[in-house]
């Protein structure tokens, strides 16, 4: 039996990775930051992802092994404290993404079934339960994880495309359509910053790197897999943002910030629409948690195999890398201690730094990867500028998120430096 995968499967992995829990978790946050310019914020974040996907295309064609991002960074910078610190940041960023997805699950689930009279307590019960449940599935069978992901991608895309179609039709005559007017846009800097806070909604395209080596006709299909999936998701997100801002008043969006996509279905389909989108959010976030737990534990294992983390992380527990349990416990701690904006900020800062370094790696390896040097250099500069703009904007409005981001980056590099120093002594 061949392990080769078709182009449509690779595109499904990219689309599934991006349209995971991200859009359900950060849409309300995006509107609160960008107001009427939210579609533009999603477009700006998407264009940055598209530029970075150029580096992923060329690196994947040259180094199609399953190591993905870890492999690209090690090729570009060698196995050093720097590359090890960035790879550690990638693993921690997976944990942050898991926290984001679990946070979205915990926000949507009580709308279907309240366990206690306290919605905050329900949030913690649901978000913790889904992490534990997904961890159990990962230990039970990796094949089940793959089947859940394949099923979930189809379900969530059908529901989201139906939401877009019905929502676009429902915009005609909706008084809230005026909210999209230029007068309701934030300043260009705030729009850009809003786009960068929600950049986490695009990071999933990098999962294609893990299967690039198994693609049929890789030279032709690797570029198609990246570009088709990223462009499709940009269009989907921009239209979802248009429908949401044009359907609901800013006050309603703020009230339902954590589950705004379900609220946006109400004007069109009433309580049934609200319930359908809520179910789609639960399926999406659950599948994203499932897949990210698998991906995060494998990244952790790859880093340890490359001798950038202690060899203890190559040990297996119940036939799975020990990193699966560590990733799960760390996610439980994060989701129960940080708010949504802080989690989203930390995730976006993490992936903007990682993508800037991947762009720089491709710039350095441009002869080997046969890349146009200007594009990865532009990607590197834009990702670094985006990181600075995001941190600067969040410094006044979400100081805790900035502190958490800074501490995470510092700890990743400090841990690598201590490990390398002890190893060399």
For residue range 42-55, what is the model confidence (pLDDT) as tens digits?
Answer: 999 999 999 999 99
**What phi and psi values does residue 316 have, to the nearest 5 degrees?**
-115, 145
Residue 425 is predicted with a pLDDT of 62
Distance CA 388, CA 399 (A): 14
Give the residue-averaged pLDDT of 137-144.
79
Task: Give the model confidence (pLDDT) of 64-82 as tens digits.
Answer: 876 789 999 999 999 899 9
The CA angle 221-21-261, to the nearest 5 degrees, is 115
Q: Does residue 2 surpass a pLDDT of 50? A: no
Task: Select the more confidently predicted residue: 138 or 238.
Answer: 238
36 falls in which pLDDT band (50, 70, 90)?
very high
Q: Which CATH superfamily is domain 7-424 in?
A: Amino acid/polyamine transporter I (1.20.1740.10)
Q: What pTM did the predictor assign?
A: 0.88
Reported for 160-164, long-range contacts at CB under 8 A and 24+ positions apart, including other chains, are: 160/19, 160/23, 160/236, 160/240, 160/280, 161/236, 163/240, 163/243, 163/261, 163/264, 163/265, 163/273, 163/277, 164/236, 164/239, 164/240, 164/243
Q: Does residue 152 surpass a pLDDT of 50? A: yes
153 falls in which pLDDT band (50, 70, 90)?
confident
Give the residue-averaged pLDDT of 128-147.
85
User: Are the beta carbons of 354 and 324 closer than 8 angstroms?
Assistant: no
Burial 126-165 (b: 16+ CB within 10 A, else e): bbbebbeebbebbbeeeeebeebbeebbeebbebbebbbe
Residue 266 is predicted with a pLDDT of 86
Residue 77 is predicted with a pLDDT of 94
Residue 66 is predicted with a pLDDT of 62
Residue 42 is predicted with a pLDDT of 93
Distance CA 204, CA 188 (A): 26
Domain map of the chain by residue range? 7-424
Name the nearest CA neighbour of 292 among 95, 5, 88.
95
Lowest-confidence range among 8-17, 47-56, 85-94, 126-135? 8-17
Task: Select the more confidently predicted residue: 4 or 96.
Answer: 96
Task: Select the more confidently predicted residue: 278 or 32.
Answer: 278
* pLDDT over 90 percentage in the chain: 43
Task: Give the model confidence (pLDDT) of 412-422 as tens digits.
Answer: 999 999 988 88
Task: Select the more confidently predicted residue: 71 or 1.
Answer: 71
Task: Select the more confidently predicted residue: 39 or 19.
Answer: 39
Q: Does residue 3 surpass a pLDDT of 80? A: no
Tokens read off for 211:
């299967």
Through-space distance between the first and last CA atoms of the chain, rounded to whole angstroms: 48
Task: Give the model confidence (pLDDT) of 213-264 as tens digits.
Answer: 888 899 999 999 999 999 999 999 999 999 888 888 889 888 888 788 888 8
Task: Give the model confidence (pLDDT) of 314-361 as tens digits.
Answer: 888 777 888 899 999 999 999 999 888 888 889 889 999 999 999 999
Residue 302 is predicted with a pLDDT of 84
3-state DSSP assignment of residue 35: strand
Q: Does residue 379 surpass a pLDDT of 90? A: yes
1 falls in which pLDDT band (50, 70, 90)?
very low
Give the residue-averaged pLDDT of 6-14.
85
Distance CA 190, CA 121 (A): 33
């Amino acid at each position: 039996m061949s392990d080769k995968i078709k182009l449509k499967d690779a595109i499904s992995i990219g689309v599934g990775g991006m349209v995971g829990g991200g859009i359900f978790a950060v849409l309300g946050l995006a509107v609160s930051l960008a107001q009427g310019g939210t579609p533009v914020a999603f477009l700006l974040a998407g264009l940055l992802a598209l530029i970075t996907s150029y580096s992923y295309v060329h690196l994947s064609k040259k180094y199609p092994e399953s190591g993905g991002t870890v492999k690209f960074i090690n090729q570009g910078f060698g196995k050093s404290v720097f590359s090890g610190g960035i790879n550690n940041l990638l693993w921690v960023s997976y944990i942050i993404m898991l926290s984001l997805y679990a946070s979205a699950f915990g926000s949507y689930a009580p709308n279907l079934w309240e366990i206690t009279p306290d919605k905050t307590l329900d949030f913690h019960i649901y978000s913790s339960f889904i992490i534990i449940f997904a961890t159990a599935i990962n230990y039970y069978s990796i094949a089940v994880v793959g089947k859940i992901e394949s099923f979930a991608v189809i379900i969530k895309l059908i529901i989201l495309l139906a939401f877009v179609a019905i929502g676009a039709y429902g915009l005609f005559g909706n008084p809230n359509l005026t909210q999209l007017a230029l007068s309701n846009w934030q300043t260009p800097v705030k729009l850009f910053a809003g786009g960068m806070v929600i950049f986490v909604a695009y990071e999933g395209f990098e999962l294609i790197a893990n299967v690039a080596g198994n693609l049929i006709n890789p030279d032709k299909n690797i570029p198609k897999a990246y570009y088709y999936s990223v462009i499709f998701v940009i269009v989907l997100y921009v239209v979802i943002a248009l429908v949401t801002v044009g359907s609901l008043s800013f006050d309603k969006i703020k009230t339902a910030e954590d589950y705004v996509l379900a609220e946006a279905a109400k004007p069109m389909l009433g309580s049934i629409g609200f319930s359908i989108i809520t179910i789609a959010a639960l399926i999406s976030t659950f599948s994203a948690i499932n897949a990210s737990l698998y991906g995060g534990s494998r990244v952790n294992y790859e880093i340890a195999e490359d001798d950038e983390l202690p060899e203890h992380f190559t040990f297996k527990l119940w036939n799975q890398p020990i990193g699966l349990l560590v990733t799960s416990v760390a996610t439980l701690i994060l989701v129960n201690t940080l708010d949504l904006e802080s989690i989203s900020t930390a995730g976006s800062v993490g992936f903007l730094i990682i993508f800037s370094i991947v762009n720089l790696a491709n710039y350095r390896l441009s002869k080997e990867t046969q890349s146009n040097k200007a594009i990865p250099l532009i990607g590197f500069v834009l990702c670094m500028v985006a990181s600075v703009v995001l941190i600067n904007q969040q410094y006044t409005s979400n100081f805790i998120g900035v502190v958490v981001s800074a501490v995470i980056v510092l700890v990743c590099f400090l841990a690598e430096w201590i490990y390398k120093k002890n190893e060399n002594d």
